[in-house]
Amino acid sequence: MLDAFIRSFNSFEEREQFTRAFLGSHAYGEGIRHELYAEIIFPVLLAGSNRNDAWSLYWLAETIQHLKGARKLYEVIKFKTRTDLLKDAYAVDRDSIEIRKALLKSLWSEFDYASHEWPSGILWRPARTARDQYTEIMSEAALARELDREYAYAVAIDEFEGKVKQYYERLIS
């Protein structure tokens, strides 16, 4: 029945209308059947992302768990992370509250993971020099501050930056 449903779409426009309605309903929970995602939703989101459509970039980020399980699809977007996709969406639409909050939450999740072994260390993208890691983390923290217009994460960002500074000082001394 799913195959028949997928074949029932006569045009890309129909696929796009379905995708927007489906994702907009939030009624699907976390799971979307792979076939439906791979053959209908992902192509629509990919086409939109190629046009720098903020909505499509946002929904690629929000459905990233479906890409991580489908390497060939994930490869098409060059293995961008949820945060990368949300940054792209934010660059296109800085006024979207939904995108701003999702990006802030994603950045905070990365900060939280990076510091989970503190005080032993800060885990950040390997294969970079300590200086490059420090610069990148502090840049991400500055972005998080920009996004945190309600100051909900202000204290937590201060604490994270303090840990990063201490760790970097240990590395270079």
pLDDT, tens digit, 9 for 90 and up, residues 143-162: 999 999 999 999 999 999 99
Q: Which of 36, 67, 93 is the last residue of a domain?
A: 93
Position 49 pLDDT exceeds 70: yes
Is there a single domain that holds both residue 113 and residue 88?
no
What's the pLDDT at 173? 85
Q: Which of 93, 118, 149 is the last residue of a domain?
A: 93
Position 8 pLDDT exceeds 80: yes
CB 44 within 8 A of CB 38: no
Burial 50-87 (b: 16+ CB within 10 A, else e): eeebbbbbbbbbbbbebbeeeeebbeebeebebbbbbb
Burial class of residue 3, CB neighbours in 10 A (0-12, 13-18, 19+): exposed
Q: Across residues 77-98, what is the average pLDDT?
A: 97
d(CA 151, CA 157): 10
Is there a single domain that holds both residue 140 and residue 86?
no
d(CA 70, CA 94): 30
Whole domain around residue 47: which residue ranges?
Answer: 1-93
Is there a single domain that holds both residue 44 and residue 104?
no
d(CA 153, CA 144): 8
Backbone φ, ψ for residue 127 (5° rounding): 65, 25
Is there a single domain that holds both residue 49 and residue 110?
no
Is there a single domain that holds both residue 5 and residue 75?
yes
Q: Length of the chain, please?
A: 173
Q: Average pLDDT, whole number, for the chain?
A: 94
**Domain total of the chain:** 2
For the ranges 59-73, 88-102, 114-128, the maximum mean pLDDT occurs at 88-102
Position 65 pLDDT exceeds 80: yes
What's the pLDDT at 112? 96
What's the pLDDT at 168? 94
Q: Across residues 103-131, what is the average pLDDT?
A: 92
* Selection from 74, 70, 167, 148 nearest residue 107 by Cα: 148
Is there a single domain that holds both residue 125 and residue 84?
no
Determine if the pTM surpasses 0.85: yes
* Strands (E) located in the chain: none
